[in-house]
């Protein structure tokens, strides 16, 4: 037998387990998308910081798949248990779902790798002491890279724009970097791939990018010495590049948005309606929001199953697979075990079995772990024997030879 013979079974279990969790989270994502889009609209364009805060709720989605709600709430069992049953009974569903997730994540990484390679091949220049990468393509400026952000500027801007205009554009891109927007965009991409069966995630990503641009515009105007009129005029000037562009590239954090005239019009209107905001109040609000988010995360964790729960169940069943006793209080009192043996009070055990166990092979199963109800393993078993009619039967049992594989399952 090959040393890798365990791998197909392990991958199959991984696909079933993770797809079950992610499909449940995707079910929540439909509701959350509607709630966030509704709150976002209720807040209005003037409260861009407040409406943007609701996007943080999507960070909780990956942690909702292990809620005890799915197994212990009568309403949830009636409404959603069919979903659990379908995934558990049809493993091809898990395989397809996880293939979609893996393909999506590989696409995101490949796209970013391609952009990075393209940017590194560009010539370098400087705007106000800031290094930028210059391209001959007719595109709007953008920033790429998580750990080493790089600002890309088109050659025609470097040659045709004034130094003051170039510095304003670079300031916009540096603000995206300083506010962590590149990481936010990457996280949004990952969440979109994890819950790819929800088409509304794409809509949410577009709205999310729009809000991040609105925040960046406000922060840039407030922190610069320029007026909102100057900022908006430069945005319109940059947007003209899109009308005549014959080339395109998939980028993030473009200075002038690429969602069409309506989005550009909305963005310019927001810039023209700019009013100074209180930085200290925003910091306090962000701190309070972070604390509330952390408390919400702890609350979700408290009502969810752990990564792996050790089982103390003791089960007795016949050799034909018929379950006889399942972790009854009486079993706990008459059966115990240590690292080498199982100890059974023979008289009490046989009385508990009654006629159901007479003349049959009786197996005792104990220990193991549980990832979710119905998903687990690693249990030990032994064949009940009472040779010599001893009051307490001492039965040896075999340890797992592949304990490393059991430990690997526990880490899932």
Tabulate helix, strand, coil % of the chain (nearest 5): 60, 15, 25
Specify the pLDDT at position 185. Answer: 94
**One CATH from 2.40.10, 1.20.58, 1.10.30, 2.60.40 for 309-410:** 2.40.10
Kindly state the average pLDDT of the residues 307-326: 81
Weakest mean pLDDT among 215-219, 293-297, 405-409 = 405-409
Q: Which residues of 164-198 are buried (b: 16+ CB within 10 A; e: fewer)?
A: ebbbbbbbbbbbbbeeebbebbeebbbbbbbbbeb
Instruction: Judge whether 140 and 244 are in contact, CB under 8 Å.
Output: no
- Report residue 271 CA to chain centroid gap: 33
Specify the pLDDT at position 387. Answer: 62
Q: Dig out the tokens for 291 from the structure.
A: 């604390």
Specify the pLDDT at position 252. Answer: 37
Specify the pLDDT at position 242. Answer: 55
Sorted by where each begins, the domain ranges of the chain are 7-302, 309-410
Specify the pLDDT at position 306. Answer: 86
Weakest mean pLDDT among 77-91, 103-117, 255-269 = 255-269
Q: Dig out the tokens for 293 from the structure.
A: 């988010």
Long-range Cβ contact pairs of 298-305 (< 8 A, separation 24 or more): 300/60, 300/63, 300/64, 300/67, 301/63, 303/67, 303/68, 303/69, 304/63, 304/64, 304/66, 304/67, 304/68, 305/66, 305/68, 305/370, 305/371, 305/372, 305/373
Specify the pLDDT at position 193. Answer: 94
Specify the pLDDT at position 208. Answer: 92
Answer yes or no: is pLDDT of 261 > 70.
no
Answer yes or no: is pLDDT of 15 > 60.
yes
Instruction: Judge whether 42 and 61 are in contact, CB under 8 Å.
Output: no
Answer yes or no: is pLDDT of 390 > 50.
yes
Specify the pLDDT at position 247. Answer: 44
Classify residue 142 by burial, with Cβ atoms within 10 Å: 0-12, 13-18, 19+.
buried
Kindly state the average pLDDT of the residues 263-285: 83
Weakest mean pLDDT among 179-188, 278-287, 352-361 = 352-361
Specify the pLDDT at position 385. Answer: 76
Confidence of residue 314 (pLDDT cuts 50, 70, 90): confident
Kindly state the average pLDDT of the residues 2-10: 77
Instruction: Judge whether 49 and 23 are in contact, CB under 8 Å.
Output: no
Instruction: Judge whether 322 and 362 are in contact, CB under 8 Å.
Output: no
Q: Give the other-Cβ count within 10 Å of 362's Cβ.
A: 22
Specify the pLDDT at position 243. Answer: 59
Answer yes or no: is pLDDT of 107 > 60.
yes
Instruction: Judge whether 311 and 379 are in contact, CB under 8 Å.
Output: yes
Q: Dig out the tokens for 249 from the structure.
A: 């590239």
Instruction: Using a cut of 0.95, tell me whether the model's pTM lies above it.
Output: no
Q: Give the other-Cβ count within 10 Å of 98's Cβ.
A: 18
Specify the pLDDT at position 298. Answer: 94
Kindly state the average pLDDT of the residues 207-232: 87
Q: Dig out the tokens for 70 from the structure.
A: 């799915």
Write the DSSP assignment of 266-299 as a string of letters.
Answer: HHHHHHHT-----HHHHHHHHHHHHHHHHHHHHH
Kindly state the average pLDDT of the residues 245-249: 44
Answer yes or no: is pLDDT of 99 > 60.
yes
Phi then psi for 21, rounded to 5 degrees? -65, -45
- Report residue 113 CA to chain centroid gap: 21
Specify the pLDDT at position 337. Answer: 87
Sign of the dihedral through C-alpha 209, 186, 67, 198: positive
Answer yes or no: is pLDDT of 157 > 60.
yes
pLDDT averaged over the chain?
84
CA atoms within 13 Å, Cβ hemisphere of 255? 32
Confidence of residue 87 (pLDDT cuts 50, 70, 90): confident
Weakest mean pLDDT among 45-49, 190-194, 249-253, 337-341 = 249-253
Weakest mean pLDDT among 45-49, 110-114, 242-246, 385-389 = 242-246
- Report residue 318 CA to chain centroid gap: 43
């Amino acid at each position: 037998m090959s040393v890798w013979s365990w791998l197909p079974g392990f991958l199959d279990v991984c696909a079933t387990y993770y797809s079950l969790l992610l499909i449940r989270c995707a079910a929540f994502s439909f509701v959350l998308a509607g709630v966030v889009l509704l709150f976002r609209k209720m807040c209005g364009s003037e409260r861009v910081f407040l409406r943007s805060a609701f996007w943080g709720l999507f960070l909780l989605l990956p942690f909702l798949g292990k809620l005890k709600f799915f197994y212990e709430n009568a309403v949830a069992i009636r409404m959603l248990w069919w979903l659990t049953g379908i995934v558990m009974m049809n493993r091809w569903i898990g395989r397809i779902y996880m293939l979609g997730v893996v393909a999506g994540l590989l696409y995101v990484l490949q796209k970013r790798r391609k952009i990075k390679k393209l940017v590194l091949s560009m010539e370098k220049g400087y705007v106000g002491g800031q290094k930028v990468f210059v391209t001959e393509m007719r595109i709007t400026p953008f920033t790429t890279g998580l750990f080493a952000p790089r600002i890309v500027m088109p050659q025609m801007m470097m040659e045709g724009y004034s130094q003051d205009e170039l510095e304003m554009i670079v300031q916009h891109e540096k603000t995206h970097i300083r506010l962590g927007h590149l990481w936010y965009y990457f996280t949004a991409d990952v969440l979109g791939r994890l819950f790819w069966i929800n088409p509304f995630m794409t809509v949410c990503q577009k709205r999310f990018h729009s809000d991040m641009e609105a925040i960046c515009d406000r922060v840039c105007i407030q922190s610069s010495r320029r007026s909102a009129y100057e900022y908006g005029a430069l945005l319109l000037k940059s947007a003209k590049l899109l009308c005549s562009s014959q080339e395109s590239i998939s980028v993030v954090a473009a200075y002038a948005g690429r969602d069409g005239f309506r989005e550009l019009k909305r963005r310019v209107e927001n810039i023209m309606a700019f009013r100074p905001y209180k930085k200290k109040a925003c910091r306090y609000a962000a701190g309070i929001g972070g604390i509330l988010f952390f408390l919400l995360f702890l609350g979700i964790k408290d009502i969810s199953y752990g990564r792996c729960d050790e089982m103390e169940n003791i089960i007795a069943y016949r050799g034909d697979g018929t379950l006889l006793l399942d972790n009854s209080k009486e079993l706990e009192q008459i059966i115990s075990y240590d690292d080498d043996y199982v100890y059974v009070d023979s008289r009490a055990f046989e009385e508990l079995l009654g006629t159901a166990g007479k003349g049959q092979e009786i197996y005792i199963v104990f220990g193991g772990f549980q990832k979710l109800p119905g998903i687990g393993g690693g249990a030990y078993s032994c064949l009940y024997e009472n040779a010599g009619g001893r009051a307490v039967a001492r039965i040896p049992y075999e340890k797992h030879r592949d304990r490393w594989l059991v430990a690997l399952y526990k880490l899932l």
